[in-house]
Amino acid sequence: MDYRLLLFCILLSSLPMLAQSQTDELNHEWRQNGDVQFGVFSGFTENRIVYSDWRHSATSFQIGGQLEYFFDDHWSIKTKLTYENRDYGFNLKGSVLSVPVLANFHFGKNRRWNIHAGLAYSKGINNFIKGLDGFAYNLGMGVIIPVKGQRYFIEFDGLTNMANVYNVLSRPSRSSINFGYLF
């Protein structure tokens, strides 16, 4: 008779989990396996080169587009094509095309928050700085803000080159805040 009471308690305690999983399927904001999401963005950047006794930094801008493929309601892979005007001050500037490939994890009640990490490849265009071409680490966080049926986003993003600039122990980095729209 004790095992029946134990079984009844286990079944009773599992009802909220079953109810939760049924309501989860009704949330239309969540993305599912195979969903694709497009977006455009622009933002402000701070570009830095730091060496032992000097530092160059300046603000600039970037614009771009993104494509995100969802594996489930939490995980996706995102790629971007970004045009960056990198300015480090003291005539150290140039334009760069970057293509990051990022693993993206969505969290929060409606999966509006996300963190991403991955690698980016950058190629200089009319570039005056040697060493900006190549791979970089990319890390960031963002939030989707729904407004009257439209989806906007704010994203904080950081990038650090793997290679040194001018063959010295100084890796350029970039921090940005992006504002965008999701289709």
Predicted local confidence at residue 26, as pLDDT: 45
Strands 75-87 and 93-107: antiparallel
Predicted local confidence at residue 12, as pLDDT: 54
Predicted local confidence at residue 90, as pLDDT: 67
pLDDT digits (tens, 9 = 90+) for 54-106: 777 788 899 999 999 999 888 999 999 999 887 776 667 778 899 999 999 99
Three-state SS for the chain is CHHHHHHHHHHHHHHHHHHHHHHHCCCCCCCCCCCEEEEEEEEEEEEEEECCCCEEEEEEEEEEEEEEEECCCCEEEEEEEEEEEEECCCCCEEEEEEEEEEEEEEECCCCCEEEEEEEEEEEEECCCCCCCCEEEEEEEEEEEEEECCEEEEEEEEEEEECCCCCCCCCCCEEEEEEEEEEC
Where residue 174 sits, what CATH number does that domain have?
2.40.160.20
Question: Which residues of the chain fall below pLDDT 70?
Answer: 1-30, 52, 89-91, 127-132, 164-170
Tell me the residue range of the domain where 170 lies. 36-182
Predicted TM-score of the model (pTM): 0.75
Predicted local confidence at residue 133, as pLDDT: 79
Within-domain flag for 7:
no
Within-domain flag for 60:
yes
Within-domain flag for 73:
yes
Within-domain flag for 16:
no
Predicted local confidence at residue 125, as pLDDT: 84
Whether the CB-CB separation of 112 and 29 falls below 8 Å is answered with yes
Work out how many domains the chain is built from and give that number.
1
For residue 66, count other CB atoms closer than 10 A to its CB.
Answer: 22
Within-domain flag for 120:
yes
Predicted local confidence at residue 30, as pLDDT: 64
Predicted local confidence at residue 18, as pLDDT: 46
Within-domain flag for 26:
no
Within-domain flag for 147:
yes
Within-domain flag for 109:
yes
Predicted local confidence at residue 8, as pLDDT: 59
